[in-house]
Amino acid sequence: MGRKLLTEHINVEGIDTFEVYRKHGGYRSVEKALKTMTPDEVVEEVKKSGLRGRGGAGFPTGLKWSFLAKPEGVPRYLVCNADESEPGTFKDRQLMSKLPHLLIEGMITGSYALGARTSYIYIRGELLYVLRILEKAIAEAYAAGFLGENILGSGYSLDLHVHPGGGAYICGEETALLESLEGKRGNPRNKPPFPAVQGLYARPTVVNNVESIAAVPVIVNEGGEEYAKIGIGKSTGTKLISACGHLNKPGIYEIELGVPVEEFIYSDEYCGGIWKGRELKAVVAGGSSVPILPTELILKTAAGEPRLMTYESLSDGGFVTGTMLGSGGFIAMDETTCIVRNTWNFSRFYHHESCGQCSPCREGTGWLEKVLHRLEHGHGAMHDIDLLVSVAKQIEGNTICPLGEAAAWPVAAAVRHFRDEFEWHVKHPQEATRAGAVYPGKAVLA
């Protein structure tokens, strides 16, 4: 059984209240940081921990913090990215609604480290009920003297606010998020300048995912080196995995990085295997943007090594035979799943969510959706399959923000690993569009 650094107390009754959270060791990191550490020392511990951004990019959090510009007399901001919208990912919602004070504690300690005097939690608008939970918890933290003027007599002051979005996946991209927080459409900004230099209101800003910020208290309490002892290599600490799709036990699992994928899917400690006694067909391991892998490649690398739940192991083989840990949105698909239909569904998502600024993404996502729609509905031609690959290639690398890649990668990977299923849709349009039809597989087709 792995250690639970974030969710140890998640099922304690009343843990969403200040009193109970405090009784279980809550807010110790604020006391420790404000009373015994300099801001730079806190940054140093986060660097030592090896914590990598939990929103999907996996960029080292401590390094990101150290890039923050600190001109004299200019306010700077810590903004929490709680715009959780990557299909397959639902960990932050659970964390915030059940453990609101953990995020608030991380925000206070993090803001102290960065020298922010006002910080914001940008939460997706659909989660207004979670915003209410956070606001109630923030009010409790103010009342207890952990927010506001002169926190714990340290001389450090901080205001913390929650800000709702309005329904737009793109606002999970950090510069689109900042635009949105400024009351504008969520169009990603050109970089440079990066937010660390010119972010919110053109001030130096750090944007971190909920789970990254929630890891700060334990890093400060136990020390970065202790945290880094958990996990394997550059994948340190624990990660929340959102397990969904055709699993016996979908849900949120906090794992020590390094658990074998096979164990994660089949052991009763985690997902308990595939539902209805069926076989696993494919997995999208890190949210809908990452390449899909067939069963044989998600359980073992191309070299035959067991695949582990780490940044490195999941990306072993690059995009030819590997994928990414991403946000930890783990979508399992059983043997009855139509890969073409699923790919079309995700393409429709990205087309719907493209902000429309960059032509390759605005037009390309539309073409991907259109071509996949006709393949799925029995009107596709063989050359459509190569057309998908060609469109995906032309989007990739040609857009301001990574939504272009997020739309292109899943399509390219689906064709790479399941080309025969796409071809079957072209050759057998009537069979493929019959309700409940299942691609019979390579063996039957041959």
Partner 1 sequence: MEVTTAPAKPQFSAAAQAEIKRIITRYPEDRKKSALLPVLHIAQAEFGGWVSPEVQDLVAETLDLKPIEVYEVSSFYTMFNLKPVGKHVLEICRTGPCMLRGSDELTENLERITGAKVGETSPDGMFTIKMVECLAACGFAPVVQVREKYYESLETPEAVDAMLNELRSMIHRPILPWEEQKNNA
Which DSSP letter does residue 240 get?
A: E
Least distance (Å) between residue 120 CB and partner 1: 8
Least distance (Å) between residue 251 CB and partner 1: 5
Which segment (36-44, 247-255, 372-380, 413-421) binds partner 1 by CB under 8 A? 247-255
- Taking residue 350's Cβ as centre, other Cβ atoms within 10 Å add up to 26
Contact in structure between 258 and 236 (CB atoms under 8 Å)? no
Which segment (58-66, 215-223, 245-253, 391-399) binds partner 1 by CB under 8 A? 245-253
CA distances from 279 to 243, 295, 394 (A): 17, 9, 35
Which segment (20-28, 163-171, 224-232, 255-263) binds partner 1 by CB under 8 A? 163-171
Taking CB under 8 A as the criterion, the residue among 35, 117, 229, 352 binding partner 1 is 352
E strands in 145-194 = 159-164
**Cα separation of 141 and 17, whole Å?**
10
Q: Is 427 in the site for partner 1 (CB under 8 A)?
A: no
Least distance (Å) between residue 300 CB and partner 1: 24
3-state secondary structure 10-74: CCCCCCCCHHHHHHCCCCHHHHHHHHHCCHHHHHHHHHHHCCECCCCCCCEHHHHHHCCCCCCCC
Q: Per-residue x/- marks for partner 1, 177-216, CB under 8 A?
A: ---xxxxxxx--------------x---------------
Q: Is 90 in the site for partner 1 (CB under 8 A)?
A: yes
Residue type, 57: A
Instruction: Tell me whether residue 341 or residue 428 sits nearer to partner 1 (CB atom).
Output: 341
Instruction: Tell me whether residue 162 or residue 261 sits nearer to partner 1 (CB atom).
Output: 162
Asked if the peptide bond before residue 193 counts as cis, ω within 30 degrees of 0, the response is: yes
**Cα separation of 97 and 327, whole Å?**
19
Least distance (Å) between residue 233 CB and partner 1: 28
3-class SS shares of the chain: helix, strand, coil, % to 5: 50, 15, 40
Instruction: Tell me whether residue 45 or residue 174 sits nearer to partner 1 (CB atom).
Output: 174
CA-derived radius of gyration, the chain: 23
Contact in structure between 46 and 55 (CB atoms under 8 Å)? no
Please, where are the H alpha helices in 71-209? 91-98, 100-114, 128-143, 174-181
Q: Is 164 in the site for partner 1 (CB under 8 A)?
A: yes
Residue type, 435: A
Taking CB under 8 A as the criterion, the residue among 81, 89, 354, 357 binding partner 1 is 89
Least distance (Å) between residue 125 CB and partner 1: 5
Q: Is 329 in the site for partner 1 (CB under 8 A)?
A: yes
Q: What are phi and psi of 151, to 5 degrees?
A: -65, 125
Contact in structure between 286 and 57 (CB atoms under 8 Å)? no
Q: Is 73 in the site for partner 1 (CB under 8 A)?
A: no
Instruction: Tell me whether residue 219 or residue 333 sits nearer to partner 1 (CB atom).
Output: 333
Taking CB under 8 A as the criterion, the residue among 126, 269, 335, 431 binding partner 1 is 126
**Cα separation of 104 and 371, whole Å?**
45
Taking CB under 8 A as the criterion, the residue among 54, 98, 189, 246 binding partner 1 is 246
Which segment (30-38, 85-93, 209-217, 219-227) binds partner 1 by CB under 8 A? 85-93
Taking CB under 8 A as the criterion, the residue among 18, 30, 53, 86 binding partner 1 is 86
Contact in structure between 141 and 104 (CB atoms under 8 Å)? yes
Q: Per-residue x/- marks for partner 1, 268-287, CB under 8 A?
A: ----------------x---
Site for partner 1, residues 24 to 53, rule: CB under 8 A = none
**Cα separation of 65 and 31, whole Å?**
21
Taking CB under 8 A as the criterion, the residue among 78, 333, 361, 406 binding partner 1 is 333
Contact in structure between 409 and 361 (CB atoms under 8 Å)? no
Instruction: Tell me whether residue 278 or residue 300 sits nearer to partner 1 (CB atom).
Output: 278
The residue ranges that bind partner 1 (CB under 8 A) are 84-90, 92-93, 120, 124-129, 132, 135-136, 159, 161, 163-169, 180-186, 201, 242-246, 250-252, 284, 288, 329, 331, 333, 337, 341-342, 345-346, 349, 352-353, 355
